[in-house]
Amino acid sequence: RPRVSGRAQGRSAILEKFGGAATGPAPHLKRMGAAGSVKAMLLEWCRARTRSYQHVDIQNFSGSWGSGLAFCALIHSFFPDAFDYSSLEPHDRRRNFTLAFATAEERADCAPLLDVEDMLRLAVPAAKCVSTYVQELYRSLVAKGLVK
């Protein structure tokens, strides 16, 4: 009987919880050559969606998301009537994370994989947590037909 690592078991549990692994190529994410990865393509997608937003300069999946404004901008780019982005301030992290996560859950049916309190405890969010959440948001938007 083959041994299954704890990491593989964890991945299987997550996939089972969220309806299985996605199949086929991700829509609108073009391969950037042999060195390109889904993570890099997803980061570029986030940059493109938030390029015009004040106080947002996405360079990575950690520090660039620390104020919560990158989440707000990404979600606002799909749901501009959900809230007034121009009223948000970088220092009001609690409001930004709360607004972003609640809007994503309500409007995109995005699973609440991140917790506001956890995000507030960290000055620099964990890259794996942020990229996992953004992947889930992307998947939810595809399911809603908002990303083709």
Judge whether 21 lies within some domain.
Answer: no
Structurally, the chain folds into a number of domains equal to: 1
What is the domain extent for residue 133?
35-144
Residues 6+ apart with CB under 8 A from 10: none
CATH of the domain at 72: 1.10.418.10
- What CA–CA distance (Å, rounded) separates 2 from 37? 29
Low-confidence residues in the chain, pLDDT < 70: 1-36
DSSP character string of 14-71: HHHHTTS---SPPTT----STT--HHHHHHHHHHHHHTT-TT----SSSGGGTTSHHH
By residue count, the chain amounts to: 148
**The overall pTM is greater than 0.85:** no
Count CB neighbours of 130 within 10 A: 24
Judge whether 3 lies within some domain.
Answer: no
